[in-house]
Chain A
């Protein structure tokens, strides 16, 4: 009957739906909602009654193919710098851009800030020191660590030359505090899905949330998604890689374990290392090397890892002395390490580390996981796509060769690239130019003012 739509019908529908959205700026259901909310009892919880979802433009099935009709998106906000992803790179980028004078908006997929640091329970701060030992992660990253120092039970092992471990909840709280202090606009539960383009330049991003598909217009977009979702959507070239995907968990009651009762040959594995919470360890998991952009793979990893973690705890509990061990939680976010990596104007390379290469456009210095080697400079070009304008990469998806990706993705190094991307975006906005043409000496000057270490 009506379920078969011809192409002509489809085109006509597109026109109608476009019109509908065009006139749909006034939503009668909202006015109704206000009225309803004023009544008492159960009635007060009703926002709208007999409502039909507005602005619909449903995908339709034409000749066996699902077609997404054209539709106009609501512009949710307009900003100078839009940061997509509120992880360790994104939050630092947002704070840096705001302090450098830009209007900043952050959209974050999950309900908390910190990304893999908090949601992924990657609690150890690995990669902020180099041989010496000397701390190379300064600026806002160091500020975050200092503020954690002052909080109760937020961070342990904060000594020169050692890698501190944080409490995820403390970091989540601190990030809320910092975002509010800086007066940055944030939208949680928003999944950045597309780039808004005009003449080969990014003009904002589209994101999905419970409010539907909406747009934010921005002068510069910082892609801190980790997966490079935005620069990929914009058409920038990238390398698609597989890496170990794990799932971190926390186990408790380690202080109530009596190892003396255990048989000498019992070697319980996967018990992790200490966190600021007494008796609770965080347990890392490396997992198999798979594609983190493949949703079937992600599903399989999530389910397999969950089974393994539960069974491992059960097995360990059967060892005498370990009876009281329990699984506190598994991380809300799957531990995806590397997926897309930008093809940037410049690339972070192992040879640069070996030769201690100095870049005139240095915007940060990366560290080693265990202070086993020297510092490596990160050139500004590693954040800038080769062709697409108005988008900068920050965090693990910046341009880096395979061997260096494992260093680039470490949390402090994400702070460093985030910091640089934030400042660079603000400079580009202020000078009304593309980030590609931004004055690097200005970026470096502001980074130094914000106490970043540039070698």
Chain B
């Protein structure tokens, strides 16, 4: 008894110290993430690392694109460390986790009971991974780090109403965190569930190869989880196949240069908003469903106020999932975004007006005005071999309210 007292004290003290240390590290991580995402630092330099830290995004990207994107290396490191220590990311790093813990404390003080719902998160992960195998990671956009990154779009594009949508969703999550403490982190968050899966499955696999102990019974939790995950993945793959089938009829949309094939793109895009924030001319906007509901909140280009610069590849450097793959400045002129179409009903040339805006502003010298003896007027003609659809002509076109020359999206393969 005499010796027990000090021992308990010291262990309690060390636990307290560890708690403080963890709080300090978590707060530091939150501040660091916010600093990376805010437009105070040079654009594109650090923001890529926040959503790229997600192991869920990294593995889904690998499955969906069947290629390794260098940016996903961070996520793979997170995944590997999870094998050693369960949910270490949630406990030490995750900025969303810290925010959720904060509001959960508040909820517990308001005497809200922790939720005991089913494991949504594992279902999301299984379906997404299953879909990813067919190039359609169904619920990748539910990744918490992507959502967290999306909040800061409001900081760079405060005047665009749609840029507040991630912030709004996050606010809803926080309120839900007050009402049902621990709901998000414990039961919904796919990144958390993914870490659960990794450690459970690894434990299960390790037990399969363990010779000392008996092989696990078919009723063991590891077995059940492996079975459920496999089943979920099959269902996910089925849903993905269906989604792809519907998606194959989709009209192409104006995506940032380097965007992968459209159907995979809309699923692989995490909606983190990195590309929109990286764009120095703010021409990337959130899709409001104009290109099909599957692509809602994904990035689309708008050339009304500015165009995609011939030497700029910033949006291609920040995509955490490989939905937009890295483009080198030399390749930029050959990356097709779309092709201009001229509406001769409103083009000033059809009225014999003195306009040469599209020809002047085309950075690739792709537009010529051809004189027709029949109509005795000029028509802008685009050379598709030179044009990459950068939108400079559309930006320059003086007709109002609709531009006479507009970029029509091209099919990407």
CB neighbours of A286 from chain B (8 A): 349, 352, 354, 369, 371, 377-378
Chain B interface category by residue count: 20 to 34
CA distance A255 to B354 in the complex (A): 24
The reply to whether A406 and B398 contact each other, CB–CB distance below 8 Å, is no
Interface string of B375-386 (1 = CB under 8 A from A): 111100000000
CB neighbours of A162 from chain B (8 A): none
Contact of A272 (CB < 8 Å), options: B352, B357, B398: B352
Please provide the chain A residues from 385 to 440 with a CB less than 8 Å away from any CB of chain B in the complex.
403-404, 406-407, 410
CA distance A350 to B357 in the complex (A): 12
Closest Cβ–Cβ distance, residue B111 to chain A (whole Å): 60
Contact of A308 (CB < 8 Å), options: B350, B355, B356, B376: B376
Q: A262 interface residue, CB < 8 Å from B?
A: no
CB neighbours of B357 from chain A (8 A): 369-370, 372
Please provide the chain A residues from 262 to 321 with a CB less than 8 Å away from any CB of chain B in the complex.
269-270, 272-273, 283-289, 308, 312
The reply to whether A284 and B354 contact each other, CB–CB distance below 8 Å, is yes
Given contacts A286-B377, A308-B376, A372-B357, contact A270 B396 (CB under 8 A): no
Closest Cβ–Cβ distance, residue A52 to chain B (whole Å): 50
CB neighbours of A273 from chain B (8 A): 351
Q: A348 interface residue, CB < 8 Å from B?
A: no
Please provide the chain B residues from 362 to 382 with a CB less than 8 Å away from any CB of chain A in the complex.
369, 371, 375-378
Contact of B352 (CB < 8 Å), options: A284, A370, A403: A284
Q: B353 interface residue, CB < 8 Å from A?
A: yes
Please provide the chain B residues from 335 to 368 with a CB less than 8 Å away from any CB of chain A in the complex.
349-357, 359-361
Contact of A288 (CB < 8 Å), options: B350, B351, B371: B371
The reply to whether B396 and A289 contact each other, CB–CB distance below 8 Å, is no
Q: A148 interface residue, CB < 8 Å from B?
A: no
CA distance A284 to B398 in the complex (A): 18
The reply to whether B352 and A283 contact each other, CB–CB distance below 8 Å, is yes
The reply to whether A270 and B398 contact each other, CB–CB distance below 8 Å, is no
Closest Cβ–Cβ distance, residue B335 to chain A (whole Å): 22
Given contacts A126-B354, A284-B354, A350-B360, contact A269 B371 (CB under 8 A): no
Minimal Cβ-Cβ distance residue in B for A308: B376
Interface string of A95-110 (1 = CB under 8 A from B): 0000000000000000
Give the A interface residue count (CB, 8 A): 27
CA distance A403 to B375 in the complex (A): 26
Contact of B398 (CB < 8 Å), options: A124, A269, A369: A369
Q: A333 interface residue, CB < 8 Å from B?
A: no
The reply to whether B360 and A287 contact each other, CB–CB distance below 8 Å, is no
The reply to whether A270 and B376 contact each other, CB–CB distance below 8 Å, is yes
Contact of A285 (CB < 8 Å), options: B356, B360, B376: B376
The reply to whether A406 and B352 contact each other, CB–CB distance below 8 Å, is no
CA distance A407 to B360 in the complex (A): 10
CA distance A272 to B355 in the complex (A): 14
Please provide the chain B residues from 383 to 413 with a CB less than 8 Å away from any CB of chain A in the complex.
396, 398
Minimal Cβ-Cβ distance residue in A for B348: A370
Given contacts A269-B377, A370-B398, A406-B360, contact A287 B371 (CB under 8 A): yes
CB neighbours of B349 from chain A (8 A): 286
CB neighbours of B369 from chain A (8 A): 244, 286, 289
CB neighbours of B378 from chain A (8 A): 244, 286
The reply to whether A312 and B376 contact each other, CB–CB distance below 8 Å, is yes
Closest Cβ–Cβ distance, residue B369 to chain A (whole Å): 7
Minimal Cβ-Cβ distance residue in B for A270: B352
Closest Cβ–Cβ distance, residue B390 to chain A (whole Å): 14
CB neighbours of A284 from chain B (8 A): 352-354
CB neighbours of A410 from chain B (8 A): 354
CA distance A328 to B64 in the complex (A): 69
Contact of B371 (CB < 8 Å), options: A126, A244, A283, A403: A244
The reply to whether A369 and B354 contact each other, CB–CB distance below 8 Å, is yes
CA distance A287 to B371 in the complex (A): 6
CA distance A370 to B371 in the complex (A): 23
4 additional A-B residue pairs with CB within 8 Å, beyond A246-B352, A350-B361: A244-B369, A285-B376, A370-B398, A407-B360
Please name 28 pairs of A and B residues whose Cβ atoms are closer than 8 Å in the assembled complex, sorted by A.
A244-B378, A246-B352, A269-B350, A269-B375, A273-B351, A283-B352, A284-B352, A284-B353, A285-B376, A286-B349, A286-B352, A286-B354, A286-B369, A286-B377, A288-B371, A289-B369, A308-B376, A350-B360, A350-B361, A369-B355, A369-B357, A369-B398, A370-B355, A372-B357, A372-B398, A373-B396, A404-B360, A407-B360
Give the interface of A toward B (CB within 8 A).
Answer: 124, 126, 244, 246, 269-270, 272-273, 283-289, 308, 312, 350, 369-370, 372-373, 403-404, 406-407, 410
Give the interface of B toward A (CB within 8 A).
Answer: 349-357, 359-361, 369, 371, 375-378, 396, 398
